Every structure is written in C-alpha cells, then in structure tokens.
Amino acid sequence: MTDLNRRNPISHLTDRPSKPSISRVVRSVEFPLKAAETPAGEIPLPSNVGGNYDTDWARRYLSRLTRRLALASLGKAVIAYYANPTIRGLDRLHDLEGPAIFAANHQSHADTLLMLTSMPAPWKHKAFVGAAADYFFGNKSTAAISALFIGAIPIERTSINRNTIEKAVDLLRGGWSMVIYPEGGRSPDGWGQEFRPGAAFLAKQADVPVVPVHIRGTFDILRKGRNWPKKSTSTVNFGRPLEFADDDNNRSFTKRLQTSVEALADETATGNWYASRQRAHSESNPGIQGPDGSPWRRRWALTDIEDKTDSRRRWPYV
C-alpha cells in the first residue's frame, strides 16, 4: 500500500537532470540573439507593437494576394473541417454597395476565420479586422501573422488610442470593409455580452453602413481558455445593413445593432423567420445575453438553444 505521507525530498526535484525541450532552448537564447530588456529606471523607447504596430504593409498587393490565397485554400479547409458552416442571409446584402462594417457576436477565435471565409465577394477581398492590440499585437511575431493572414489592425480595448481609430476610419473611407466584434472580446460562457459603441462610432465617422451578423456554434471550437480547436457545426446569419440615421446617436445605434443581432440569433435558433419577426416587433426576442443567475444555471439554459441537429453520439448512449 502506498504511504500517503511519504514525500519526495526537495533534493529529488531540484537535482533531477533537465530534459531537453524546444521551449527550454528558446528561453536560453540571450542577447544579441534576443532583445535586451530595458533596465529598471530607464524610460523604454516607444513601442512599435500593440496599438502602435504599423499594418500598412499588410494591405499591399503581395500581402493581399497571399492572404486571399491562404484564406481561399487553407482557411476555407480548416473552417470546413472544424466549423462546418451554414451561411444564411446573403440575399439581404444584395443592394449593399461600397465598404461596410460587419459587426458580429464573438464566441471563439474561429469567428474571424469563419467571417473572412463566409463574407461574400467583394467585401471579403478587401476586409480588415479590428483585433485586440494587447492580445494579437503583443509581440512582433503574432502581430505580423495577424496582420498578414487576417488583415488585422490593432484596436485598444482598455484605453482610447486615437491612432487606431483614425486608421480604421481612413481604411473604411478608402473602400475597405471591417470585421468588428462590438462585445469587445470573446464570450466567457457562451452567452453574448452587451455591445459597446465602437461600431456605431466608426459607422458615423466613416459614413458606412453596419451589417449585423450572428454567429452560432463556434463557442465549442476555440472558446476562451481553450488552446486547441474542437469540431462543431456553425451558422453565420447576415442581417440587413443598418445606416446611421440623422436622429441616431452612438447609444441608440448600438442598441439597434444589438437588437438586430438578437433577432438574427432568434431566427437561427428557432429556424422560423416569421415567428422571430413577430417577436422582434413585440420586442420579445429572447436576446443573446442569457438569463441572470449562477454560472451553472446560465450554462444549463444555454443547452436549451444549442444546436439539436448534431448527430454525433454523446454519452450516455441510449
């Protein structure tokens, strides 16, 4: 029988010979092969990552061609394998002309790839993504990958950076379309979050319409806290473009945008467009934020609206 009180001596852990690993080798690299840290007390030079990262190179011809080829081949294949998407509502974009902001709910890292492969031409060929500066542009490698393959530009989540907003407005005015997640980050539990007014602000500044988009089914693919994707089925439902009206302000427009995404969510969940329109008119759409209550109850409620069409066998088998 094992003696539970028995402990390995400290020396056993410390003295154990280290195993060779890639991360250990990378960590062991030192200056000049690696940048030196700014000594304590010294003012660091202005950073060229994060919100200050310059992404102009990613919109030049060669980068665009690379991105287009990568999305059309590898991107599409990966999304088809992991997300198996159904795309709806493209007919609502029939009269849309010029650049637009595509504003979607956000559940997973897979959302961006899903959006970029689901959006119709010509918008998907000239699109950029507002990505969290602290996450996607934290260092030069992730910044370059994000800029090249998803056309990302950095957006500050915690502070106002005039440069990034001006960059987004300039691009929209220059004919580029934007993918943005008005919730500001991925859902922590599968339910949606209150929309922030960024999309409304940009729509007003650049004078472009906002296309509400509802994404369903990606939470399980690459949710917050997960590092490896899992297969699922998903639906992307595009709504009718919204124009920033004269009597709108950022708050009211954001409310309209959220209501539109909620109506799309209802339409996708029930599969009954007419019933969802009836609920939308009577302002009784169930919404995307879920019920108040403890985490387990919110998770429990989520199972009620999860896709019932998944035919994979789940335990317990009956």
Q: Kindly state the smallest distance separating residue 262's Cβ from another protein, in Å.
A: 15
* Residue placing its CB nearer to another protein in the complex, 38 or 272: 272
Provide the terminal-to-terminal Cα distance of the chain, rounded to the nearest Å: 39
Q: Kindly state the smallest distance separating residue 84's Cβ from another protein, in Å.
A: 18
* Residue placing its CB nearer to another protein in the complex, 30 or 91: 91
Query: Phi, psi (5° rounding) for residue 118?
Result: -100, -25
Quickly count helices (H) and strands (E) in the chain.
13, 7
CA angle 264, 270, 272 (to 5 degrees): 80
Q: Kindly state the smallest distance separating residue 274's Cβ from another protein, in Å.
A: 4
* Residue placing its CB nearer to another protein in the complex, 201 or 273: 273
C-alpha–C-alpha distance, residues 208 and 194, integer Å: 22
Long-range pairs of 9-12 with CB within 8 A, sequence gap ≥ 24: none
Q: Kindly state the smallest distance separating residue 75's Cβ from another protein, in Å.
A: 25
Q: Kindly state the smallest distance separating residue 89's Cβ from another protein, in Å.
A: 8
Binding site for another protein (CB under 8 A): 88-89, 91, 94-95, 267, 271-275, 277-278, 280-282
* Residue placing its CB nearer to another protein in the complex, 76 or 277: 277
* Residue placing its CB nearer to another protein in the complex, 183 or 266: 266
DSSP string, 25-70: HHHH--TTSSPPPPPTTSPPPPPSSGGG---GGGGSHHHHHHHHHH
